[in-house]
A and B are shown apart, each in its own frame.
Chain A
Amino acid sequence: MGMTVVEKILARASGQRVVKAGNVVEPAVDLAMSHENAALVMNQFAEIYKDTGLETKIWDPSKIAIIFDHRVPAESSKTATNQKKIRDFVAKQGITKFHDIRADEGGICHQILPENGYVRPGGVIVGTDSHTTSHGALGAFSFGIGATEMAAVWALGRVLNVEVPGTIKVIVRGKLREGVLPKDIILHVIGKLTAEGANFKVIEFHGDGIASMTTSGRLTVCNMTVEAGATSGIVPADEETARYLREEAGVSDAAERVAPDPDAVYSQVLEVDAAALSPQIACPHTVDNVKPVGEVKDVRVQQIVIGSCTNGRLDDLQAAAKILKGRRVAKGVRMLVFPASWRIYKDAMRQGVLSDLVEAGAVVMNPGCGCCLGVHQGALGDGEVALSTTNRNFKGRMGNPNAEVYLCSPAVAAASALTGVITDPR
Chain B
Amino acid sequence: MQALSFDEIAGLISAKYAPEMVAPSQGSLVVGGEHLLEVASYLRGTPELDFDYLISVTAVDYRGHFEIVYHLTSLQHSHSLVLKVRCPQDKPVMPSVVSLWRGADLQEREVFDLMGVSFAGHPNLKRLFLWDGFKGYPLRKDYSSGT
A, B: real partners = no
Interface of B toward A, CB cutoff 8 Å: none
Interface of A toward B, CB cutoff 8 Å: none
